[in-house]
Chains A and B, each alone.
Chain A
Amino acid sequence: MKLILDIAVTHIVSRLRQTLVGLLGVAMGVGFSVMMAALMEGSQRDFVSQLVDNMPHITMTDERRNPPRQPAEDTFDVVQFSGLRTPETRPGIKNPYAIIAELEAWLTGAVAPSVQSRAVIRFAGRDTAANVTGIDPRRERDVSKLATQIRGGTLDALYKSSNAIILGDKLAAKIGARIGNTISVASGRGDVLTCTVVALFHSGISQSDETQSYTLLKTAQILAGQTGIINAMRIRVTSILEAMAIARRIEAQTGYKAVSWQEANEDLLSAFEIRNFIMYTVVGAILLVASFGTYNIISTITHEKTRDIAILKSLGFTEKAVRRIFLIEALLIGAAGTVIGWALGYVLCIALGTISFKSPFMDATHLPIHYTASHYAIAALVALSASAVAGYLPARKAARVHPVEIIRGAS
């Protein structure tokens, strides 16, 4: 085996320039793949973490996952009901504070009650639809980043005046409202409240900045026309990846529908899967192309070395041994290229990470780069497999060289 390695090394060292070209091909393939993977995963993680940071990890609402059993079902023996009317008001969560206490008993994280309702906000003749979420500022702090996203005030400003409201900055811009202005908020049922804008918030997620507003629980309850109602619990957990399991447990415990951030963003996450699939395909293609260089070198070497192959075989080398020589050459080039490619990829990542962007649409000023050993391992695996294939084809051909033909031709 050592002998085979010696011969292999001798061959590739004797074609140093070609070897270097092939090596660089693999190195660039690996380097760019690593860089691309770091960038793709970095941006994805950045996006997810922004998403996760901005919303409660789990939202428990007053809905049920399966329609509740109708009272009529207990009385009548039928298969289907028609003409049942849904109540106009939301049922709300029963005994919300008892549930909070129950959840807080085992949950590592925080729970905050809220009232979700829809309203039309009107100011200076302009109006727009908005979500009005009633919150408890003291508890809200623990379940979302809202407190840190307030501009021109604090979350506690909600206590400053009766019917205080905090608007998303884009929502405020849309209707031209500023801090201190009085706006009117009309509920779906037609009730109109006059509210004072006490602060703005900016989450960086347009969807939320354009449509969201916050008030005290009480204000939202008045708007909904249901005193004391709580229709959603906002829950933040310490380990976000367990959110799904925790949501299931909450649902089992309370009977109310609890949606984890993963479930809420299912289509987004599956879009990421597609994106990743595309990424790995492209990475694979890059490395495949890079391995053509290796194929080229090994082919050239086997051509140049037919005479040596013939003599090795006449000496008593088996086809397998000959094949191994060239396979090892390809793998050596692949391995060396991989190591250089790792360094290249790492340097590229660092370089990209230092580039800063000033864009009005993005909060991130640096490209998000994700560093993980698995990117390097995958790139190496693909590069080495591609090298093995690239080496195997010419190696097999070389091993089949019939020594008699070559020896006849040379003497």
Chain B
Amino acid sequence: MERADTPDMALSRTSASADPLITLRGVTKTIGDGVLTTLVRDIDLEVRRGEFIAITGPSGSGKSSLLYLLGLLDVPTSGEVFVRQVPVNALGEQARAAIRLSVIGFVFQFHFLLPEFTAFANVKLPMRALGRLDDAAMDARAGALLASLGLEDHMHKTPGRLSGGQRQRVAIARALANEPHVILADEPTGNLDSQSSEQVLGIFRKLVDETGRALVMVTHDLDLAARADRQIRIVDGQIVEPSA
């Protein structure tokens, strides 16, 4: 395994389609000073290209915690996290932020859009932070993304003037802005009615099938989970029934 000096160098390597995008090896996360709480325990997991993974499990079982570890928002207490086979535990704050910006897209249960910015500006935000495209290209991409999610008439509204389902679709568009390899979604349909949930799931399914991205979705809804390629069930911070 070669060591990468910068995350970009490592990530720009073209990899075979079987290459894992994110790998957790023996990852454990505990918190607390005196009384230790174990959020996840000894997790081995590979997220590969073109794979739709659903994570299910009872409330408080550690699903969100696992997702934060996959998305480099959190650092494991023990075990190793690899992004495209490069170990990232030891990377600094800036390098991890750079990986999040270009490789990972988050969608949460709550939309987390910036309230003062329009849907369009929210989607443009990660592109501007990354700075890879010029302004015209960013505008075009933001417009296309929003349109592909059925939001062409709502681009210039602020989140306060959008419905819950619309907001969640804007959040998905934003997560996709920098063409991430992996999308991590934490109960993305948790606040949506069944029709909107169905719509979001359709978008996700299409994304994985058509662009070959990987998607990891935490959900309580077993029907939705059933439509993933792979289901992982977590109980008490441990994977209990990995199944194909």
Q: Which residues of A contact B (CB under 8 A)?
A: 2-3, 7, 10-11, 14, 307-308, 310-311, 313-321, 403-404, 407-408, 410-411
> Least Cβ distance of A163 to chain B in Å?
90
User: Which stretch, B67-75, B78-86, B206-214, B224-232, touches the partner chain A?
Assistant: B67-75
Q: Is B120 an interface residue (CB 8 A)?
A: no
> Least Cβ distance of B140 to chain A in Å?
18
A311 to B171, CA, bound (A): 11
Which of A10, A311, A318 interacts with B97 by CB under 8 Å? A318
- On whether the beta carbons of B112 and A316 are closer than 8 Å, the reply is no
- On whether the beta carbons of B106 and A404 are closer than 8 Å, the reply is no
- On whether the beta carbons of A404 and B114 are closer than 8 Å, the reply is no
- On whether the beta carbons of B73 and A403 are closer than 8 Å, the reply is yes
Q: Is B101 an interface residue (CB 8 A)?
A: yes
- On whether the beta carbons of B98 and A316 are closer than 8 Å, the reply is yes
- On whether the beta carbons of B106 and A315 are closer than 8 Å, the reply is yes
A116 to B36, CA, bound (A): 94
Using Cβ atoms and an 8 Å threshold, which residues of chain B touch A408? Answer: 64
> Least Cβ distance of B83 to chain A in Å?
13
Which of B74, B112, B128 interacts with A311 by CB under 8 Å? B112
- On whether the beta carbons of B109 and A317 are closer than 8 Å, the reply is no
- On whether the beta carbons of B125 and A3 are closer than 8 Å, the reply is yes
Which of B106, B109, B190 interacts with A314 by CB under 8 Å? B106
Using Cβ atoms and an 8 Å threshold, which residues of chain A touch B129? Answer: 3, 315-317, 321
Q: Is B221 an interface residue (CB 8 A)?
A: no
- On whether the beta carbons of A3 and B93 are closer than 8 Å, the reply is no
Q: CB-defined interface of B156-189 with A at 8 Å, one 1/0 digit per residue?
A: 0000000000000000001000000000001100
A2 to B64, CA, bound (A): 33
> Least Cβ distance of A307 to chain B in Å?
7
Using Cβ atoms and an 8 Å threshold, which residues of chain B touch A317? Answer: 97, 101, 129
Which of B74, B98, B110, B117 interacts with A410 by CB under 8 Å? B110
- On whether the beta carbons of A311 and B94 are closer than 8 Å, the reply is no
Q: CB-defined interface of B93-121 with A at 8 Å, one 1/0 digit per residue?
A: 11001111110101011101111110000
Q: Is B126 an interface residue (CB 8 A)?
A: yes
Residue of B nearest to A322 (CB): B97
**With known contacts A316-B129, A411-B109, A404–B74 Cβ distance under 8 A:** yes
Which of A10, A14, A307, A404 interacts with B112 by CB under 8 Å? A307
- On whether the beta carbons of B73 and A314 are closer than 8 Å, the reply is yes
A311 to B110, CA, bound (A): 11
- On whether the beta carbons of B125 and A411 are closer than 8 Å, the reply is no
Q: CB-defined interface of B47-83 with A at 8 Å, one 1/0 digit per residue?
A: 0000000000000000010001001011000000000
Majority-rule SS of A interface residues = helix
A411 to B11, CA, bound (A): 31
- On whether the beta carbons of A319 and B93 are closer than 8 Å, the reply is yes
Q: Which residues of B contact A (CB under 8 A)?
A: 64, 68, 71, 73-74, 93-94, 97-102, 104, 106, 108-110, 112-117, 125-126, 128-130, 174, 186-187, 190
Using Cβ atoms and an 8 Å threshold, which residues of chain A touch B130? Answer: 316
- On whether the beta carbons of B68 and A404 are closer than 8 Å, the reply is yes
Residue of B nearest to A307 (CB): B112
> Least Cβ distance of B154 to chain A in Å?
20
A316 to B100, CA, bound (A): 5
**With known contacts A315-B106, A316-B102, A403-B73, A411–B128 Cβ distance under 8 A:** no
**With known contacts A314-B106, A318-B97, A308–B114 Cβ distance under 8 A:** yes
> Least Cβ distance of B38 to chain A in Å?
16
- On whether the beta carbons of B101 and A315 are closer than 8 Å, the reply is yes
A227 to B219, CA, bound (A): 117
Which of A313, A316, A410, A411 interacts with B126 by CB under 8 Å? A316
Using Cβ atoms and an 8 Å threshold, which residues of chain A touch B114? Answer: 7, 10, 308, 311
> Can you give 20 A-B contacts (C-beta < 8 A)?
A2-B128, A3-B128, A10-B114, A10-B117, A11-B116, A14-B116, A308-B115, A313-B97, A316-B104, A316-B126, A316-B129, A317-B97, A318-B97, A404-B74, A407-B108, A407-B112, A411-B64, A411-B109, A411-B186, A411-B190
> Least Cβ distance of A387 to chain B in Å?
22
Residue of A nearest to B99 (CB): A316
- On whether the beta carbons of B116 and A316 are closer than 8 Å, the reply is no
Using Cβ atoms and an 8 Å threshold, which residues of chain B touch A313? Answer: 97
- On whether the beta carbons of B73 and A318 are closer than 8 Å, the reply is no
- On whether the beta carbons of B93 and A318 are closer than 8 Å, the reply is yes
Closest 8 CB pairs of A and B: A316-B101, A316-B100, A311-B112, A3-B128, A411-B109, A318-B97, A10-B116, A318-B94
Using Cβ atoms and an 8 Å threshold, which residues of chain A touch B98? Answer: 316, 318
> Least Cβ distance of A2 to chain B in Å?
7
Residue of A nearest to B102 (CB): A316
A404 to B31, CA, bound (A): 13
Residue of B nearest to A408 (CB): B64
Residue of A nearest to B178 (CB): A316
Using Cβ atoms and an 8 Å threshold, which residues of chain B touch A321? Answer: 129
Using Cβ atoms and an 8 Å threshold, which residues of chain A touch B186? Answer: 411
> Least Cβ distance of B81 to chain A in Å?
15
Starting from the known contacts A3-B128, A314-B71, 12 additional A-B residue pairs (CB-CB under 8 Å) come to: A10-B114, A307-B112, A308-B115, A310-B112, A314-B106, A314-B112, A315-B126, A318-B94, A319-B93, A407-B73, A411-B64, A411-B109
Using Cβ atoms and an 8 Å threshold, which residues of chain B touch A404? Answer: 68, 73-74
**With known contacts A311-B112, A404-B68, A411–B100 Cβ distance under 8 A:** no
> Least Cβ distance of B150 to chain A in Å?
23
